[in-house]
A and B are shown apart, each in its own frame.
Chain A
């Protein structure tokens, strides 16, 4: 059944894309802010300064509101490979499932158990143990990122497997190779620093807004709350800048691997139609990008740069989309096999170029939004130098608005890397001989037994729920941020009780804080 001209495959792809990008709004904030809150908590335990405690509590609360939505939307991920992508799950089962299971066993338990201990442990367990609980949870998040990125990277660059002659499916022969896939190491480091950019931008935007508001209201720059916002801006600003530099370095590493492993993705990022030597980097493109008619694309370019990004020198040729298309077709076939498992696509010609408008612009959006974020961080550090407080409306509200920039950059990066892999869901690994390669087309990955109506139903209902959750989450966070360090409960944050007697009496106060 076709609705709006989309078959089950198209709708299932939209569903995966929407639910995963949505989930990945929470994930980088969980990872980045988790690390920073753990740093704040550590600083409090070490220095005993009240501003660090208040920072831990304020940012910790935002971390938790966000964390739970990440957990809730992450549940969908564990199921949806089987629900809508059963043929994919069968094909990759020997490698992919074990990474998901290990993520749950080695990371999710750590994260959820110790986070529960941190939330409810204020004043109940020794101070240092309590701090260690938060670090354990944060490490859990980072480990989970590693496993899931290793799983994704295996789809980009399948290593450690051989082809089973009977089934045509990959059989794992080297688990260590899967875990140390260079694609995974590069993507993981890129994702972690990108997560820190998200957290840094949040600290900067909200901190500046509060500093300005307090200044305009004539509040004292000597009290603890002032120190809270100032330290938040400084910490966030430096983290953002450092993380931006590291995203550039790790991104460059990824680019060079991509040139080796998925050359067509690299050329599509640039909408580079003809092979060039030396190749130029495109700044802006127009023409029939959306129709995937590569020869009608025109762009403004900077010479030599693409050769450098792809290969590390200023002269090497970078193959164009047109040439690569022919190469792919020669190896992987002009048309999809005429087999029912390919559904409507059976026997149809294969377009090996991803949707150029998506790859080209998402790549630019990622870099551009990252740069915006770094610019805002530099502004924040400059405008708060030596105890200053910025009062510029444009500067402060601009920084607040720019909290969204690294979120967009993160989403755009994933859209680029996933859309750039099409039409493959598992891209062949060019390091091995063609007869030993494994690959799988997205067209054959969808569950055969489910109807378009079922996927529509789930897409619409999940979409509605996710939309409603986004509204509530934004409302809660905004409300909480406006209230400032006074916990958002309307009363100042209670200090954690010290002795046993107080501990019992104040159980509920602690719980009030915890929530």
Chain B
């Protein structure tokens, strides 16, 4: 029993880690047309996430893998119920991944501009789709007693999916802007700061609403406190941006996500897929879980493996810690091949 709680928490941590990391590269990619006025600005923005996005995306694979590994009943209910939306997410992730790499493989302006747009489009699709899927799995899907979808291909997409989608996008946009403010210098840094200052109070609303609704529906006093922490984090983040304190603003914004995710998963436990048809059909941790033996094996493997992974991933962030600037050299080199 205890291991089921542990693995529910592990899955929550993996999804939170994924949104915390991939969130900023989703955000930077989505902001390319907004903050990147010149080609050099856009290149600078892309360079800020170049070495990091792929490692960030592995958090998604691990999160999905952990859901399958620990709670196959969750995996096998959630994914087919949202079949086409998930296919769309995959589509977004695929075109985004190849665009990151292929953008550099041929040097004409049109080629570069096209793949840059593909990165933005793919990231938007993926952020919205993953948000929708997470919103739906915490607030309810139309499933029957066997965990099989009732209704047509899009019956899983309701207001809760829309809320999740806007929440993840809103969080990612500001997260990306604050990442840029921390990571680059020059015009983009200033524009990113201004964007975050102006939009952060609005962008936080869907996420706070999602966490708030989950709390009101299933919550405990603890999740209520967590929700207040999330709301407070928005105020702190906004105040820190105003003072141009990028580091603490970024940290406060991260607290918003962590506290919101803790509210949502904490309130939802032990239900992993609530049914909108009948509460009796809710899929719970106990229904969905693998055997204690398998959970024990995975606990050992993750206990040894995860600290090592966190160690080397943190180390690469440190290696690439230098603030980036759009150098004139870069424009010349690019120009020569335009």
List A residues at the B interface (Cβ < 8 Å).
Answer: 64-65, 67-69, 71-73, 75-76, 78-79, 81-84, 86-87, 89-90, 92-106, 108-110, 112-117, 119-121, 124-125, 171-173, 175, 447-451, 453-454, 457-458, 461-462, 465, 469, 472, 476, 479-480, 488-490, 505-509, 511-512, 514-515
> Is the CB–CB distance between B149 and A78 below 8 Å?
no
Contacts A89-B75, A104-B61, A453-B153; is A94 near B291 (CB within 8 Å)? yes
User: Does the CB pair A108–B105 fall under 8 Å?
Assistant: no
| Most-contacted residue by chain A among B52, B62, B73, B95 (CB, 10 A) | B62
30 contacting pairs across A/B (C-beta < 8 A): A68-B98, A69-B98, A72-B94, A73-B94, A75-B60, A79-B86, A81-B68, A86-B76, A86-B79, A86-B147, A93-B290, A98-B69, A101-B70, A102-B69, A108-B61, A109-B58, A110-B309, A112-B57, A113-B58, A114-B312, A115-B54, A116-B316, A117-B319, A171-B293, A449-B150, A450-B83, A454-B83, A465-B94, A465-B95, A469-B94
Residue B102 CB within 8 A of the other chain:
yes
Contact B101–A458 (Cβ < 8 Å) = no
Q: How far is the CA of A338 from the CA of B112 in the complex (A)?
A: 58
Among candidates B73, B107, B294, residue contacting A489 with C-beta atoms closer than 8 Å: B107
Closest to B87 in A: A458
CB–CB B68/A105 < 8 A: no
**In the bound complex, CA of A511 to CA of B325 (Å):** 13
Residues of A within 8 A of B294 (CB): 94-95, 98, 172, 175
Partner of B291, one of A172, A458, A514: A172
Q: How many residues of B contact A (CB 8 A)?
A: 73
Q: Is the CB of B61 within 8 A of A75?
A: yes
Question: Would you call A105 and B306 a contact (CB within 8 A)?
Answer: yes
Question: Which of B162-170, B208-216, B327-335 forms contacts with chain A?
Answer: B327-335
A-chain residues with CB within 8 Å of residue B69 when the two chains form the complex: 97-102
Q: In the assembled complex, which residues on chain B have CB atoms less than 8 Å from the CB atom of A511? A: 47, 50, 330
Contact (Cβ within 8 A) B333 A508? yes
Q: How far is the CB of A18 from chain B (nearest CB, A)?
A: 14
Return chain A residues, CB-CB under 8 Å to B297.
98, 172, 175
Contact between A448 and B55 (Cβ–Cβ < 8 Å)?
Answer: no
* B68-A476 in contact (CB<8A): no
A94 touches which one: B50, B77, B290, B313 (CB < 8 A)? B290
Q: Do B61 and A98 touch (CB < 8 A)?
A: no
Which A residues lie within 8 Å of B64 (CB)?
Answer: 78-79, 82
A75-B94, A450-B83 in contact; A89/B105 too (CB < 8 A)? Answer: no
Q: Tell me whether B72 and A461 are in contact (CB under 8 A).
A: no
Question: Which residues on the B side are within 8 Å of A104 (C-beta)?
Answer: 58, 61-62, 65
- CB contacts (< 8 Å) of A79 on chain B: these are 64, 79, 86, 90
Cα A112 to Cα B52 with chains together (Å): 9
> Which residues does chain A contribute within 8 Å of B330, judged by CB atoms?
508, 511
Q: How far is the CA of A461 from the CA of B147 in the complex (A)?
A: 27
Once the chains bind, are A512 and B333 in contact (CB under 8 Å)?
A: yes
In the complex, per-residue mask of B300-328: 1 if CB is within 8 Å of any chain A CB, else 0: 01100110010011001001100000010
The distance in angstroms between the C-alpha atoms of A355 and B302, with both chains bound, is: 41
Beta-carbon contact of A97 and B290 below 8 Å = yes
Q: Which of B58, B72, B298, B309 has the most CB of A within 10 A?
A: B72
Given the complex of chains A and B, what is the CA–CA distance between A39 and B78 in angstroms? 44
Query: How many whole Å from B84's CB to the nearest CB in chain A?
Result: 6
A109: nearest chain-B partner, CB-CB: B309
Known: A76-B94, A448-B148. A113 touches B290 (CB 8 A): no
**Bound Cα distance A479, B105 (Å):** 10
Most buried by A among B52, B86, B147, B291: B291
Assembly CA distance A515 to B105 (angstroms): 7
Cβ distance B280 to chain A, nearest Cβ, rounded Å: 18
**Most chain B CB within a 10 A radius of its CB, from A79, A87, A96:** A79
Q: Does B104 contact A (CB under 8 A)?
A: yes
Q: With contacts A102-B298, A448-B146 known, what are 17 further pairs, Cβ within 8 A?
A: A71-B57, A72-B97, A75-B90, A89-B68, A93-B73, A94-B294, A98-B69, A101-B62, A103-B65, A113-B313, A114-B312, A119-B51, A447-B80, A450-B80, A457-B84, A476-B102, A507-B327
Which of A71, A82, A457 is the one whose CB lies under 8 Å from B54?
Answer: A71
A87 and B62 contact, Cβ closer than 8 Å, known pairs A105-B305, A453-B153, A462-B87: no
Asked if A86 meets B77 with Cβ closer than 8 Å, knowing A68-B98, A108-B58, A109-B58, the reply is: yes
Q: Which residue of A lies closest to B57 (CB)?
A: A112
B86 touches A86 (CB 8 A): no
CB distance from A69 to the nearest CB of B (A): 6
Q: Closest CB-CB distance, A26 to chain B, in whole Å?
A: 11
For residue A92, which residue of chain B has the nearest CB? B72
Alpha-carbon distance between A106 and B307 when the two chains are bound, in angstroms: 11
Known: A71-B54, A72-B97. A447 touches B83 (CB 8 A): yes
Inter-chain contact A108/B76, CB cutoff 8 Å = no
A451 to B94 Cα, complex, angstroms: 24
How far is it, in angstroms, between the C-alpha of A454 and the C-alpha of B103 when the chains are bound? Answer: 32
Return the chain B residue nearest A82 by Cβ.
Answer: B79
